[in-house]
Amino acid sequence: MNLLDGKVVSAKIKEDIKKEAAEFTASAGRKPHLVAILVGNDGGSETYVASKMRNCELVGFESTNIRYGVDITEEELIAKIHEINLDPTIDGLIVQLPLPKHIDPDKITEAIDYRKDVDGFHPINLGRMQRNLPCFIPATPYGIMLMLEHYGLDIAGKKAVVVGRSNIVGSPMSILLARNSNPGNCTVTLTHSRTANLKEEVLQGDVVVAAIGKKNFVTADMVKEGAIVIDVGINRENSTETKSGFKLYGDVDFEPVAKKASWITPVPGGVGLMTIVGLLKNTLEAAKGTIY
């Protein structure tokens, strides 16, 4: 088993981003600027947004975190998004998900100017991604592709099985793996909660991407010998063992699956770190105007 090490890969790519950010700042007279809107106080979201902001500082971006209580209305949030859309000093805008139930995430996603949509969730970016046109690619699938690229893993012609069909990970991941691009060119099966014979489907995978949000969901009996296993899960459980008061578990039962896998990502230290890299790369592209 070989480890797909998010620490090593993310550190290397962040060095490159830092250099490019410095070049941008020198010529533009301002830093690339990411705004993250956080509604409410979901523990996971707080951690993710704090990490996104910290990483922006590390690579020389400006970052702004706008926070609202759970009682903000959809109209108020959309008004703020429209204001940011028109602000030339802001390159990228993300609204952290999940949102409170009274706010429709699809409306919010479509309110963001697609040229600032560094999450890559806007239907224009999604459509352009499917067509293999320049676009913002959702950060987690983007980070996973960068990791496969870094290790030079040739997945063309292989069977890939994605577990989970979320808008954020599973669905865009299936498009990227199937695209005529490198990495890509896989034969893709997108599985979900209604899939019949899930175990048999996952067993077909030369590449398995687990993005279902359930601790240790993918077990060793579901994984083919020699598979490349990508674990997107970040399942938090309270723990007295750690300083933070919680412990992270992946969607993959790591130890037994690692014995069968050729390559595998750890949790933590795998995909999570690459998600940040995907977001930083998109923000830099937004600032440079190289996509739109």
Q: Given the rule CB under 6 A, which residues bind ligand GUN?
A: 94-97, 119, 139-140, 168
The candidate with the shortest Cα–Cα distance to 286, out of 133, 138, 116, 139, is 116
Shortest spacing between CB 139 and ligand GUN, in angstroms: 5
> What span, in angstroms and rounded, lies between the C-alpha atoms of 97 and 212?
16
The verdict on whether residue 10 carries a ligand-binding annotation is no
**Residues contacting residue 199 through CB under 8 Å, at least 6 positions apart:** 221, 222
Residue 96 or 191 with smaller CB distance to ligand GUN = 96
The verdict on whether residue 164 carries a ligand-binding annotation is yes
Shortest spacing between CB 11 and ligand GUN, in angstroms: 20
Cis ω before 134 (30° cut-off from 0): no
Shortest spacing between CB 74 and ligand GUN, in angstroms: 16
Give the chain's end-to-end CA distance (angstroms, integer). Answer: 41
Question: Annotated catalytic residue: which of 96, 224, 231, 253?
Answer: 96
Beta-sheet strand order (sheet of 159-163) = 2-3, 263-264, 228-231, 207-210, 159-163, 187-191
> What span, in angstroms and rounded, lies between the C-alpha atoms of 170 and 191?
9
Task: For 218, list phi and psi in degrees, rounded to 5.
Answer: -90, 115
The verdict on whether residue 166 carries a ligand-binding annotation is yes
Q: CB count, 10 Å around CB of 199? A: 12
> What span, in angstroms and rounded, lies between the C-alpha atoms of 259 and 1?
6
Annotation marks residue 251 as catalytic: no
Question: Annotated catalytic residue: which of 91, 117, 119, 231?
Answer: 119
Annotation marks residue 52 as catalytic: yes
Residue 63 or 96 with smaller CB distance to ligand GUN = 96
The verdict on whether residue 234 carries a ligand-binding annotation is yes
Shortest spacing between CB 96 and ligand GUN, in angstroms: 5
Three-class secondary structure of residue 242 per DSSP: coil
> What span, in angstroms and rounded, lies between the C-alpha atoms of 276 and 261?
25
Shortest spacing between CB 236 and ligand GUN, in angstroms: 12
Feature table: binding site for NADP(+): 164-166, 234
- Which residues does the annotation mark as catalytic? 52, 96, 119
Feature table: binding site: 164-166, 234
